[in-house]
Amino acid sequence: MDERYFFENLNENVVSFLGQEANHIAKVRRKRVGDEIIGFNGDGYDYKLKINSILKNEVKANVISKQKNRAFNQQKIVVYLAMLKNEAMQTAIDNLAELNISEVKLFKADFSVATVDSKKLEKLTAISTQASKQCERADVMKITIIDKSQIKQDILQFNNAFFAYENSTKPISKFNGSFALIIGPEGGFSAEEVKYFNSFSKEISLGTTILRAEVAVVAGVSSLKAVSLC
């Protein structure tokens, strides 16, 4: 597997890696001027690069060539995930990044026993970045925080909206277009939340057993991708 690094700045044929990513290239991986690496920035391409300078907090490289990333996902997929305990949350984020999800939007559910502050969000973003590099996807999965009351309006941007409910008996049927999936916390959804999510999304079953949240995200996304006609 090629070493891959995420960049945000591309000026003509020169790429700039900044901050933590620059430090990783120069100090952790010990790259030198003249070394070739692979970079990506979310535009769907992999860039073959040659390092031309290494500064204190910046690494610059020239673009040698670029090619379409084979994992680039044209279908927009977003997961609205209730805030989980640290280990479960980290596992869920890592798995969703590998499943090529576009974005995860975290919300505080009635039965959430954990919260995500700016420090935790930074750590989760680092996990997403690393997982995205390792699985050779074309971009880094975004992670944001949303208030539960805003989901009803926010989810209108998708062609299809689903929420996984442990007491549901409704199977997943085929569909077209982008989709969003709502996953609850360790304690499941409250009765009020079930009513709320049922008002704007389609309730689905993920099987007859009760799944841990970090397992449910994988089961839900995989099942929906399998029946999607995109």
Question: Do 13 and 94 fall within a single domain?
Answer: no
pLDDT for the residue 230:
65
- The stretch 49-66 carries a mean pLDDT of 94
pTM of the model: 0.84
Strand-pair partners of 14 = 11, 62
Our count of domains for the chain comes to 2
Question: Do 141 and 37 fall within a single domain?
Answer: no
CATH code, domain carrying 215: 3.40.1280.10
Question: Do 103 and 34 fall within a single domain?
Answer: no
Question: Do 219 and 172 fall within a single domain?
Answer: yes
CATH code, domain carrying 10: 2.40.240.20
Question: Do 91 and 62 fall within a single domain?
Answer: no
E strand or H helix that includes residue 40: strand 36-40
Single out the residue in 14, 48, 68 at which a domain terminates: 68
Q: Could you tell me the two tokens for 63?
A: 């673009």
pLDDT for the residue 42:
81
Question: Do 28 and 98 fall within a single domain?
Answer: no
Are the C-beta atoms of residues 40 and 9 closer than 8 Å to each other? no
Single out the residue in 68, 90, 119 at which a domain terminates: 68
Question: What are the angstrom distances between the C-alpha of 189 and each of 21, 22, 195, 214, 215?
Answer: 38, 42, 10, 15, 16
Range of the domain at 105: 77-227
pLDDT band at 71 (very low <50, low <70, confident <90, very high): confident
Comparison of pLDDT for 71 and 90, the residue scoring more? 90
Single out the residue in 68, 101, 122 at which a domain terminates: 68
Question: Do 33 and 119 fall within a single domain?
Answer: no
Question: Do 58 and 103 fall within a single domain?
Answer: no
Taking Cα atoms as reference points, which of 156, 160, 74, 147 lies closest to residue 116? 147
Question: Do 199 and 141 fall within a single domain?
Answer: yes
- The stretch 207-220 carries a mean pLDDT of 93
pLDDT band at 2 (very low <50, low <70, confident <90, very high): low
Question: Do 146 and 202 fall within a single domain?
Answer: yes
Question: Do 59 and 140 fall within a single domain?
Answer: no
Question: Do 88 and 164 fall within a single domain?
Answer: yes
